[in-house]
Amino acid sequence: MGREEVDPFGEQELRSSLKTEQLGKTIYLYPSLESTNLLAKQLAEKGEKHGALVISETQTKGQGRLGRSWHSPPGGLWFSLILRPDFSKLMPQHLTFIAGLAVVQACSKIIHSVSLRWPNDLYVENKKLGGILTESRAKGDRFEYFIMGIGLNVNLAENQLPEELKPLATSLYILKKEQISRAALLGDILLHWEKILNHYPHHGFAPIVNSWKKHADFLGAFVKVDTPAGIIKGTAVDLSPSGALMIQDQSGLIHEISCGDVRLLSIVRTPHS
């Protein structure tokens, strides 16, 4: 399947699509970067303000979780946000959930079957659509800033995916079979993001976890989780109030996992809360 010319994605298109009050008001737009997260960190260290947005048409050294590389050809949404929320209880894992919820809410208007995979990925029909990388800097017990990196396969054609990724990844273009306005999609993501972030100080993290679970494709399924302590297999039964993954192994023991990668082993699901 081929792909038409990449959709217009300049600063004019971006600014006309932004309906936010803070997020994206400062834009750094590049044709190519090593990594948007890397530049965002450099800008944050120099004092760049809350909501600044770094975007690149391509990344030569795109970053995923756990030091993995992220394939970032033309046609995707590769961007990072600098966040300096003025409330102290916000944790990095909370921001990962907020970002995931914002992205899935925006993408679900284009493809209804977009789902969330704990802790930071977006999937469609068991193929990865996007991911989130959360980085932060703390001073004492207070975070100075957060860097939120998003990689989203928007207008990527199948021939842009390396052979080893074709069975594992997809894009909105492959699924929809038409070009998506990346500027409009990014504007929608940031609007959802800002609304959720603004609700957080008043309502806390619990409503975010509950909303996130409604988009989770793995709850009730038999999964394998690769954790720092080893591999755990069992049924993904729920998320804790803090966002930890609750796995029930075959002996009935519940494991509460705060860090790991989830892989579905069976799509047969049992009811979950």
Burial annotation 132-171 (CB, 10 A radius, 16+ → b, else e): bbbbbeeeeeebebbbbbbbbbbbbeeebbeeeeeeebbb
21 belongs to a structural domain: yes
Mean pLDDT lowest among 15-19, 70-74, 87-91, 107-111: 87-91
For residue 254, the enclosing domain spans 222-266
52 belongs to a structural domain: yes
- Is the model's pLDDT at 68 over the cut of 80? no
CA 219, CA 212: separation in Å to the nearest integer?
Answer: 11
What percentage of residues in the chain have a pLDDT greater than 70? 91
Could you give the angle at which helices 92-107 and 206-213 cross, rounded to 10 degrees?
A: 40
Domain match, 232 and 164 both: no
Mean pLDDT of 42-65: 90
Mean pLDDT of 101-124: 96
272 belongs to a structural domain: no
How does residue 273 score in pLDDT terms, banded at 50, 70 and 90? very low
Mean pLDDT of 210-228: 93
The total number of structural domains that make up the chain: 2
Where residue 239 sits, what CATH number does that domain have? 2.30.30.100
What tokens does 204 get? 């806390």
The type of residue at 160 is Q
Domain match, 162 and 89 both: yes
Where residue 90 sits, what CATH number does that domain have? 3.30.930.10
